[in-house]
Structure 1
Amino acid sequence: MADRGNAALREHVVNLLTGGHAHATFEQAVKGLPVEMRGKVPKGAEHSPWQLLEHLRLAQWDILDFSRNAKYKTMKWPDDYWPKEKAPADEKAWDKSVRAFKKDLKEMVALVSDEKTDLFAKIPHGDGQTILREALLVADHNAYHVGQLVLVRKMLGAWE
């Protein structure tokens, strides 16, 4: 019974990380955004789509790195988590950030899916965190900022 429950928990967490279900997915939020709108901050918003994308990528990478790297180095808040530039340097920078986000998400999913990963064990170099907590943090943080990205796209008139 415990194995089945553990497998079900892993499946639920993976679905939470990748699903969307009640909200837009990352893929939907970044797909088809015109190049000229990626660096625009609409009136009433704090961030451009580029800044939100990079924040999603940086924060997710940091959580993943913390989750599996015994030599993890703490990043400085907020400087290391938010890009200063409103726009990507070019279209390649946007595409590279999207690919990196997807790669890191896939690695978090793999970590959670791996039966050798004890979801409940405290991370040795942390102060009480577990892989389960970090995976849920990624899912929660991503859902929040993907929602912001959708809202910014709506404000820019770039969401259907």
Structure 2
Amino acid sequence: MESKEILIAELTKLLNGGTAHVGLQDAVANLPFNLLGERPHKLPYSIWQLVDHIRIAQWDMFEFSKDGNHKSPKWPDDYWPKETAPKSEAEWENCLKQINVDLKAFIELIESKDLFEKIPHGSGQNILREALQIADHNAYHVAEIIVIRRLLNAWKS
């Protein structure tokens, strides 16, 4: 296997949740809908807000990586949902689906691009940096989701 193929395989594992910790799909599996808006112990965010934030930020990094005309949302206001809970189970499911669709498309992008080439419309970023940033950002917030689930007694023991 060539070095590029090895790197892409490892990035793909990392983007899908890595091998050293729980990924997003496991972090939200079997989560009761009524707990999505809970903010235990006066935490400033709910599981819904964290998951929707992951969706928005990942989408932004993906779009930035491929589209020179992309306009990022206003930081930080437009990266966080105002509502503590989704309006419906359909909104929740659509959020999770969009995260998966965008992640799959981003992985296809890293498979087709030079990971080290500067993004023409960026300020020095490359696709590798964006891949690592998505993985790092998602892992950080997935850990927060698990902490909230533990505080709500809704995490496997």
Name the CA distance, whole Å, in 2 between partners of 1:40 and 1:113: 38
CA deviation map 1:63-101 (0-9, x unaligned): 001000110112211111000100100111100100001
CA RMSD of aligned residues (A): 1.1
Query: For the residues of structure 2 that align with 1:76 and 1:64, how far apart are their CA atoms?
Result: 16
Residue aligning to 1:22? 20
Structure 2, gaps ≥5 residues long = none
Alpha-carbon distance between aligned partners in 1 of 2:150 and 2:107, rounded to the nearest angstrom: 29
Would the aligned equivalents of 1:49 and 1:152 in 2 still touch at CA under 8 Å? yes
- 2:98 aligned to which of 93, 97, 100: 100
Task: Map 1:2-151 onto structure 2 (within 5 A).
Answer: 4-114=2-112, 117-151=113-147
Q: Percent identity?
A: 46
Deviates more, 1:17-26 or 1:146-155: 17-26
> 1:44 offset after TM fit, Å?
4.2
CA distance in 2 between partners of 1:131 and 1:81 (Å): 21
Matched residue count: 156
- Unpaired runs of 5+ residues, structure 1, are none
Aligned AA for 2:119?
I
Structure 1 segments of 4+ aligned residues over 6 angstroms from their partners: none
